[in-house]
Amino acid sequence: MFGSSTGESVGEGAIGGGWSSVSHRGFDAGVHQENPQPYAAMVAVARDMLDELAGANPPLDVVEKVSAHLADVQTLLTDHQVSERRRPFGHLDVPGRAQCMSPVLRMHRWERDGADGVVTFGKYYLGGNGAAHGGTIPLMFDEVLGRLASTDRTPCRTAYLHVDFRSITPIDVELTVTGRFEREEGRKRYLRAELRHDDVVCAEAEGLFIELKPGQP
């Protein structure tokens, strides 16, 4: 419906993430929270643009045109800046949560004890020689585990995130991602995740998440 190559459209069997109880706490994104699809479609276009930008070697006249268009887009948005709690960006219950920093997670299972899904690192995430940039993989793991750590639980923050890079993570192919809630000890929550390309383990993560005390930022 939204024609995004990065797959941020709503539906297609994917779920928003089951994290709305965390993400929407105290947020009021107005009309976009009621009807997230137009805003999610706008962010999907931005994602696709970043992918094409990263992959292109355009002639100078195209560079100038793109610069002018982007400056127009920036101007359109400048008059609509709001406080953090009113921003839809990153806070809508759609795959990718309507942000374009971390790649879109398309989750098939999202439960209190674990989650499974797929993710594709597009051209925007290239590090070198066809492999995703090493910083983007912890970003994706923090996204999965941070959300899982708070699913049906009180809010928490990442204390540490340990990532082992087992083999390169190829861009432009669908990878599987799994997350698992291992155990909790008081305010401490321990989780693990794995990223695979078919049978090959690309990376593994272990994270500690600490439950926030009331009023803790």
Ligand X SMILES: CCCCC/C=C\C/C=C\C/C=C\C/C=C\CCCC(=O)SCCNC(=O)CCNC(=O)[C@H](O)C(C)(C)COP(=O)(O)OP(=O)(O)OC[C@H]1O[C@@H](n2cnc3c(N)ncnc32)[C@H](O)[C@@H]1OP(=O)(O)O
Q: How far is the CB of 105 from ligand X (least distance, A)?
A: 10
Report the residue number, 13 or 214, with the smaller CB distance to ligand X.
214
Report the residue number, 52 or 184, with the smaller CB distance to ligand X.
184
User: How far is Cα 175 from Cα 186, in angstroms, rounded to an integer?
Assistant: 34
Q: How far is the CB of 26 from ligand X (least distance, A)?
A: 8
Q: What angle do CA 16, 18, 23 make, to 5 degrees?
A: 85
User: How far is Cα 49 from Cα 43, in angstroms, rounded to an integer?
Assistant: 10
Q: Tell whether residue 101 is a contact of ligand X (CB under 6 A).
A: no
Q: Give the closest residue to 118 by CA, choosing from 12, 215, 3.
A: 12
Q: How far is the CB of 42 from ligand X (least distance, A)?
A: 19
User: How far is Cα 56 from Cα 1, in angstroms, rounded to an integer?
Assistant: 26
- And the tokens for 25? 């706490």
Which residue has its beta carbon closest to ligand X?
146
Instruction: Choose which of 4, 6, 9, 23 interacts with ligand X (CB under 6 A).
Output: 23
Distance spanning both ends of the chain, measured CA to CA: 38
Instruction: Choose which of 54, 101, 159, 173 interacts with ligand X (CB under 6 A).
Output: 159
Beta strands in the chain (DSSP E): 105-110, 114-120, 126-128, 131-132, 156-165, 174-185, 188-197, 200-211
Provide Rg for the chain, Cα atoms: 18
Report the residue number, 79 or 185, with the smaller CB distance to ligand X.
185
Q: Tell whether residue 210 is a contact of ligand X (CB under 6 A).
A: yes
Residue list 77-96, contact with ligand X (CB under 6 A):
90-91
Q: Tell whether residue 103 is a contact of ligand X (CB under 6 A).
A: no
Q: Tell whether residue 194 is a contact of ligand X (CB under 6 A).
A: no
Report the residue number, 130 or 135, with the smaller CB distance to ligand X.
135
Report the residue number, 64 or 164, with the smaller CB distance to ligand X.
164
Q: Give the closest residue to 90 by CA, choosing from 126, 49, 39, 129.
A: 39
Report the residue number, 17 or 122, with the smaller CB distance to ligand X.
17
Instruction: Choose which of 143, 177, 191, 202 interacts with ligand X (CB under 6 A).
Output: 143
Inter-residue contact 101 to 139 (CB < 8 Å): yes
Residues of the shown chain interacting with ligand X in the complex, contacts defined by CB under 6 A: 19, 22-23, 90-91, 142-143, 146-147, 155, 157-160, 186-188, 208, 210, 212, 216
